[in-house]
Every structure is written in structure tokens, then in C-alpha cells.
């Protein structure tokens, strides 16, 4: 494989006049920036709908398939004649540099409803829309009814709905589909707009030889269309509530571990059905992205199962999944499967064995490299293999500058100085870390945009185990300067990644 590099920047972090990054002009300008600086990878976070209830995390969604309507560009809808300038007049000025999700969600919802009203009379004659609905019926029918029912029951979780809907009785569902026909159609229209704009952007990327790395969260939320539609593939009680939830055990970062709260899979049922649910999901994501990052990869080997009644992750246990059988079938369906394993944290020999057996590239994060085990540390560049993907940090870490200022110990800093053979400062550390990544033997390098810009802790994307003020950071157009373009291009070319 060629030496390559790229940038990690989520769609919501792009500039836009409407309060949150979207698929509009700034997204295309960002692709032009990637092309100009000789990048060939753009990594994003999951595109699924987010909710203020779940802290706006793209890893906690009510759907594993649907797109986030907040990412639909209203400017493109104006260009397409679906909205007019006057439809948007009187909207609030949004804060720059940070997303205000409450404000944005309300504004976008209203604007998209107007777009639907404008299009409604001709929608049924729109062949492109009909084709989209038919092609995506396997998830779209359940998702749009799910959203409509949630609205009808004032946001109540699906296991609190009337019994006929909870247990998906066909006659009851048919009646609701009939009486809420217009609301369901509107939701289908939003998804149609989302995916039309997304695939147009992806086509533009690919035409410039830029591949998109997308993220597939291993778990889904219990109050999601997937759990409601396929309860048998999860470990639930008779009322549809999780018997066990996912998380990770206590470790260096947390004495009580992390209790994520997602229902865990019933792998026996998944295996008995030939993993058809997962095969469909992977196939779908391979259309959306060029390369897929499987989040929490170790959960495919064995997962931490916590009784749902427990308030923390302490009293969970490891449960094995049929990982070899699963990946054998996966590779039979997709012989050249372009996936990356998110294999960070404590990785046991059985996980390492699967990654090696199937030749899946894992992740290396330079921020993790400078502990007292430095010579043998798997994240230090002299221990890399070609077949891996290197990051300065991820969306879950502090920025390089923030880490150096706040989290790196005096001893860590001494080791950095010795490793580099010179002193570094808070203002130069991000360049040094990028250089280490770029010059390494790793085939692929991805740098978060915040580290390219040398930004501090205030611009970090997410602080795990917290639900406030995450996923908010945004790029400002003026931050991409001619000097930055030159610096990034030179590093890309000099280390043979252009």
C-alpha cells in the first residue's frame, strides 16, 4: 500500500452560516484544501442522528442507518429551489466556533419542515425520491415509523409504548402508518435530502482521489429503531428493556469502569441467522464510506457484560463472542474488506490474534507513547509496522497542545525531549508530533484538524464519561491560511505521503 495521510474532521465541525457544519459549500472547500495539501484521506465520525438527550454524541443514536438532518445544507436546498432565501429570514445569528445544539436543532427542524411543505405537492411524482425509498426500505420503513411514534408519545422510549406497538402487531402498525402517513413521508424526505447531499460530496471527494474513512459504532442505543425492530438479537427482558448493558471494566482511567448502557448482542441468535443483521449493516456502510473504522473492536472478540441493574461497570464480566466465525463469514461476503480496527486501550492476546489472522490494520496514537515503558511501548514510532494507521490523537483525547500543557507529566516531557533529541515547547509540540507520525513507516497517518492548527484544550472534541459540552468545536474559515497550506503540503511531500 502507498504511504498516505489525511485529516480527522467531523462534518459538524465544518464552517457554515447555520450554526453547525453541513454538506454545503464549506465541505467542498475543505475537500479542495485536502487536495491542495496532497491529502488522500478524510476521516469523519458517525453520520447518524444525534440527540440533546444523549449529549449530542454521534455514538448514541436512535438509528444505525439514518442520517443526521442537522447536516443537510440549507444553502444547497436554496440552490435546488426547495427553499427560498425568504423561507430562512429572521433566523438567529449563531455563535462562531462552537455548536449550540438546542438552537441549531430547533432552527434546522423548522427550516426542513418548510422545505417539505414546499415539495409535498410534487413529491409522489419524484422518481429519484421513490427510488431512494425502495432501495432503503429495509431500514427506512422502521426508522420513519419509529420517529413518528416517538413524537406521538412525547419522546417516550419504545418499551413504554402501547403493547400492540411495542410488540409490532401488524394490524396496529398498519393503522398507525395510515393515520400518520404525512409525518412518515416527511421523515423519508429528510433522509432523501441527507443522502442525496452526502453522496454528492463523497463523489466530489473520490474524484479528487480522497477516500473517506467512516466510523461504525459497535453498539446501538436501547431506544433505537434497530432494537425496536429486531429485539431478538439483543439481550432484553419481556418488556423490551436490556437485561445486560455494555461498557468496559475499571482501569487506569476510571476506578468504576465505564457503563455505556447500550444493550449487548445475543450472539447465539446472530450466529444462527448467519449474522445477516451485521452483514447488511457493513454492506450499507461500505456504500457510505471508502474505509470503515470498527469502533471498540475488542467487543467483537469478547465484551464486558454488565447486569442492567448495576449503576457502575464494576460487577460486569467478560463474555466471548464467536469472533472467528463472524469474521470468516464477513470476509466471505466482502473479500477485500477495507476496515480499520479501533484497538486502543488494554488489548489482550486473543484480540491481537484476530487482528493478525485477518490482516486488519490497528490504530497507533502518539500521545500514548511517552510513558516509562517508552522503548517497548507499542505507540512509539520505532515499534510501528507498515500495516497500521497512526494518529497524533483521536476525538476522545485532548489536543496535542492541551495534553502537553495539562496532562503530560514532567517525566513524560523529559522522555519526549530525549526521544526527539531537542527541547520542545507548548507552541511547537504539535508540529513535532505530526512530524513523528508522518516520518514513521506506517502506511496511513491521520491528524485531527485541531492538531494541524496547533489548538489547545478548549478545542477538544469529546471528554469521555461526560455528557456536557462535547462535540461542539468548529473550524473557522480564516484558520486555513496560506502558511498552513504550505506547511502541511511540505510535510506531506517530504515524507512521501503526497
Q: Give me the active site residues, please.
A: 295, 342, 396
9 contacts 451 by C-beta, under 8 angstroms: no
Residues 251/345, Cβ–Cβ less than 8 Å: yes
Tell me how far CA of residue 351 lies from CA of 146, 230, 297, 301, 348, in angstroms.
36, 28, 8, 6, 6
* Nearest alpha carbon to residue 26 among 194, 196, 201: 201
For 351, what's the count of Cα atoms within 13 Å in the CB-facing half-sphere? Answer: 18
DSSP 30: H
Give the β-pairing of 258-263 and 244-248: antiparallel
The HSE-up count of residue 115 (CA atoms within 13 Å, CB side) is: 31
Cβ atoms of 346 and 318 closer than 8 Å: no
Task: Please answer whether residues 369 and 423 qualify as being in contact, where contact means their C-beta atoms are separated by less than 8 angstroms.
Answer: no
Nearest to 22 by CA among 103, 104, 102, 95: 104
Count how many Cα atoms sit within 13 Å of the Cα of residue 47 in the half-sphere of its side chain.
Answer: 26
Q: What are phi and psi of 36, to 5 degrees?
A: -65, -35
Contact indicator for 360, 301 with CB cutoff of 8 Å = no
Residues 6+ apart with CB under 8 A from 357: 324
Question: How many whole angstroms separate alpha carbon 286 and alpha carbon 296?
Answer: 18
Q: What is each CA distance from 355 to 82, 293, 323, 359, 385, in whole angstroms?
A: 47, 13, 11, 6, 13
From first CA to last CA, the distance across the chain in angstroms is 13
Cα separation of 409 and 388, whole Å?
27
Distances in Å between the alpha carbon of 102 and those of 45, 379, 388, 472? Answer: 20, 39, 39, 12
Question: Cα separation of 37 and 488, whole Å?
Answer: 6
Cα separations (Å) of 413 from 179, 394, 396, 451? 64, 20, 21, 18
Residue 401 burial class via C-beta count within 10 angstroms: exposed 0-12, middle 13-18, buried 19 and up: buried
d(CA 178, CA 183): 10
Phi, psi of 215 (to 5 degrees): -115, 130
What distance in Å separates the CA atoms of residue 448 and residue 365, rounded to the nearest whole number?
11
Amino acid at each position: 500500500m502507498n504511504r498516505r495521510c489525511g485529516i480527522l474532521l467531523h462534518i459538524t465541525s465544518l464552517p457554515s452560516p447555520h450554526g453547525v457544519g453541513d454538506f454545503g459549500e464549506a465541505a467542498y472547500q475543505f475537500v479542495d484544501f485536502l487536495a491542495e495539501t496532497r491529502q488522500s484521506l478524510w476521516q469523519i465520525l458517525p453520520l447518524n442522528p444525534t440527540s440533546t438527550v444523549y449529549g449530542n454524541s454521534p455514538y448514541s443514536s436512535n438509528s444505525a442507518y439514518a442520517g443526521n438532518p442537522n447536516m443537510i445544507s440549507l444553502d444547497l436546498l436554496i440552490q435546488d429551489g426547495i427553499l427560498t432565501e425568504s423561507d430562512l429570514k429572521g433566523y438567529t445569528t449563531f455563535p462562531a466556533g462552537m455548536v449550540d445544539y438546542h438552537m441549531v436543532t430547533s432552527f434546522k427542524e423548522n427550516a426542513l419542515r418548510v422545505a417539505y411543505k414546499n415539495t409535498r405537492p410534487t413529491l409522489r411524482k419524484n422518481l429519484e425520491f421513490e427510488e431512494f425509498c425502495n432501495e432503503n426500505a429495509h431500514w427506512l420503513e422502521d426508522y420513519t415509523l419509529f420517529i413518528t411514534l416517538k413524537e406521538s408519545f412525547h419522546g417516550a422510549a419504545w418499551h413504554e409504548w402501547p403493547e400492540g406497538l411495542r410488540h409490532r402487531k401488524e394490524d396496529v402498525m398498519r393503522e398507525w402508518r395510515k393515520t400518520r402517513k404525512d409525518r412518515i413521508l416527511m421523515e423519508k424526505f429528510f433522509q432523501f435530502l441527507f443522502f442525496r447531499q452526502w453522496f454528492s460530496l463523497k463523489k466530489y471527494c473520490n474524484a479528487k482521489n480522497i477516500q473517506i474513512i467512516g466510523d461504525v459504532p459497535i453498539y446501538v442505543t436501547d431506544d433505537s429503531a434497530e432494537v425496536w425492530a429486531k429485539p431478538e438479537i439483543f439481550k432484553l427482558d419481556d418488556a423490551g428493556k436490556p437485561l445486560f448493558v455494555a461498557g468496559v471494566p475499571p482501569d487506569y482511567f476510571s476506578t468504576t469502569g465505564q457503563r455505556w448502557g447500550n444493550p449487548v448482542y445475543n450472539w447465539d441468535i446472530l450466529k444462527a441467522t448467519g449474522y445477516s443483521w451485521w452483514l447488511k449493516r457493513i454492506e450499507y456502510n461500505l456504500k457510505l464510506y471508502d474505509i470503515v473504522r470498527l469502533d471498540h473492536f475488542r467487543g467483537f472478540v469478547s465484551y464486558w457484560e454488565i447486569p442492567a441493574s448495576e449503576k457502575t461497570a464494576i460487577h460486569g464480566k467478560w463474555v466471548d463472542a464467536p469472533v472467528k466465525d463472524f469474521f470468516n463469514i464477513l470476509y466471505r461476503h466482502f473479500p477485500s474488506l477495507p476496515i480499520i480496527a479501533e484497538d486502543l486501550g488494554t488489548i489482550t492476546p486473543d484480540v491481537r490474534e484476530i487482528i493478525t489472522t485477518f490482516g486488519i490494520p490497528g490504530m497507533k496514537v502518539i500521545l500514548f507513547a511517552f510513558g516509562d515503558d517508552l522503548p517497548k511501548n507499542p505507540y512509539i514510532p520505532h515499534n510501528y509496522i507498515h500495516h497500521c494507521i497512526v494518529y497524533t490523537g483521536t476525538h476522545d483525547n485532548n489536543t496535542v497542545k492541551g495534553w502537553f500543557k495539562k496532562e503530560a507529566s514532567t517525566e513524560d516531557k523529559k522522555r519526549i525531549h530525549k526521544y526527539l533529541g531537542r527541547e520542545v515547547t507548548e507552541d511547537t509540540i504539535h508540529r513535532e508530533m505530526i512530524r513523528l507520525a508522518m516520518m514513521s513507516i506506517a502506511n496511513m497517518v491521520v491528524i485531527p484538524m485541531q492538531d494541524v492548527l496547533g489548538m489547545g484544550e478548549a478545542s477538544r472534541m469529546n471528554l469521555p464519561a461526560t455528557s456536557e459540552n462535547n462535540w461542539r468545536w468548529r473550524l473557522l474559515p480564516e484558520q486555513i491560511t496560506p502558511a498552513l497550506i504550505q506547511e502541511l503540503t511540505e510535510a506531506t511531500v517530504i515524507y512521501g505521503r503526497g
